[in-house]
Every structure is written in structure tokens, then in C-alpha cells.
Structure 1
Amino acid sequence: MVNNFEELEVWKECRNLRKQVSIVLKSFPSEEKYRIVDQLIRATRSITANIAEGHGRYHYQENIQFCRQARGSLTETLDHMICATDENYISDEQFNNFRNQYILCLKLLNGYIAYLQKMKLNQSSKLNG
């Protein structure tokens, strides 16, 4: 039983991804501050924020919806990091390290969504049974 979102493995790993991206952003050119840097900050913060907000809703369907939003922000982050690679703001090694963390986060998020869907189904079958 998880008492708060900070105990969720998915939130912890997405937090690690956010911190990893934040470190990389420090080397981006200043002219990108209000472009890709701002977009990446917003997207990565949205991932963990949506997981946290969903957890605080105490209803499976709402939690699932917020986790889907988090997954969208995670995918948006991948696209921005691909752009950063295309613009030579980050190295291939930095991108590959990011991609590995992205894959882990995506797997955990999909697993958490599947778990929530299963719990929702179990809850509704108990109510209808």
C-alpha cells in the first residue's frame, strides 16, 4: 500500500529523468532559454506533477487519466530531446542516457496504468457482485 506519491517507483524514476534533463539544459545556448529549454522544463515537470495529482484524486479513473497526461508529457519530452540532438545541443551519449531513462519511465508508467485499470475493474466487480 502506497501512502503518498513520493513512494511510487514510477514517480521516483520520472523525477530522476526530470533532474537528468535539468542538468543537460544548463549547457543549452541562451537564445533557447524561452524556446526549447522552457518547453523541456514544462514537459518534465508535468510528468511528475500529473502522477502526483492523479495519486491525490483517490479514484482509479481520475488517476488513470492523470497518468495518461503524464505519459503524453513524457513523450513530448522525448520529442524535444530529439530536437536538441538535431540542433547539436546535446551529444549522442547524452541522448542515449536520456533515452534509457525515458524507456524505463515509460515502462513503469504503462505498468502503473495497467495496475490502476486492474484495480478499477476489481473494485467495480466487487460493487456489482
Structure 2
Amino acid sequence: MAGIGRFEDIVAWQKARVLTREIYLVTASGGFAKDFGLRDQIRRASVSVMANIAEGFERAGRAEFHQFLVVAKASCAEVRSHLYVALDVGYITEDLFRGLSDMTEEVGRIIGGLRRTVNQIKS
């Protein structure tokens, strides 16, 4: 993409990195830490967001980057869905849920905007 030299410069990737760190911190203690299935799945989903942004950026073309952004945005929804499970079984509080859910929505919106921009670039 013109103007961006490295995936680390992409705001969506930067925000996804913060989200991933928060997910790792939250899942490292309490009941969440002992629920290996849910813990590992939500961690993988959060890592998928940042990894797909990075991998798509490094691909050869606009269409591929766009497709990787589609997957990254879907992974945000997966993280949010897992947060509902964590809330429902008492691993996280309502306040923590809201904060993390808001983060996933923000990252998803940013990725959506980036996806629209990438889609408008001429090949």
C-alpha cells in the first residue's frame, strides 16, 4: 500500500496487538486459565487478527490483502463471541467484558475501513 512501508505502521495491526496482549493477560489467571479449550481458542483468534493483517500486507497484491483483512475482521467477531462465553460462565466481569468487547468492535471497524480503502485501490 502506498504510504505504508511496514505492517507495523498499520493502525489496525497496532490496535490488534493491544487487543491480543489484553486477551493474553485476562486469560492467564482464574478460571479462564484452567479452561484450556476456551483460553487457547480466544488466544488463537486474537493472534489471528494481527497475523492476518501482517500476512495480507506482505502478499503480492491488493486482492490478497483484501481477503486477509476479511479473515482478520472475522477473527475479531470470533474473539467477541468467546468473550460472551467467558462472561456467561463467570470468568470475566461485565465491566471487563464491555471493555474487551468494545476493543474488538473498534479493531473490526478499523479493519473494515482499511478493507474498503484497499478495495478502492486500482490494481
TM-score range, shorter chain: over 0.9
Relative to 1, partners in 2 of residues 1:58 and 1:75: Cα closer, same or farther, differing over 3 Å? same
Number of corresponding residues: 120
**Which letter does structure 1 place at the counterpart of 2:68?**
F
Quote the residue 1:59 is aligned against.
Answer: 61
Structure-to-structure mapping, 1:67-78, within 5 angstroms? 67-78=69-80
Could you tell me which of 27, 32, 36 is aligned with 2:35?
Answer: 32
Deviation at 1:27? 2.1
> Structure 2 length normalisation: TM-score?
0.93
1:87-129 CA deviation, whole Å, 9 max, x = no partner?
Answer: 010001111110121121011000000000011xx33xxxxxx
1:50 equivalent to 2:52? Answer: yes
Query: Is the radius of gyration larger for structure 1 or structure 2?
Result: 1
Identity over aligned residues, as a percent? Answer: 27
1:7-40 CA deviation, whole Å, 9 max, x = no partner?
Answer: 000000011111111111012425302x100101
1: CA distance between counterparts of 2:96 and 2:56? 30
1: CA distance between counterparts of 2:105 and 2:75? 14
1: CA distance between counterparts of 2:79 and 2:103? 12
Give unpaired runs (5+ residues) of structure 1.
124-129
Given that 1:28 and 1:37 are in contact with CA atoms closer than 8 Å, whether structure 2 keeps it comes out as no
> Structure 1 length normalisation: TM-score?
0.89
Give unpaired runs (5+ residues) of structure 2.
none
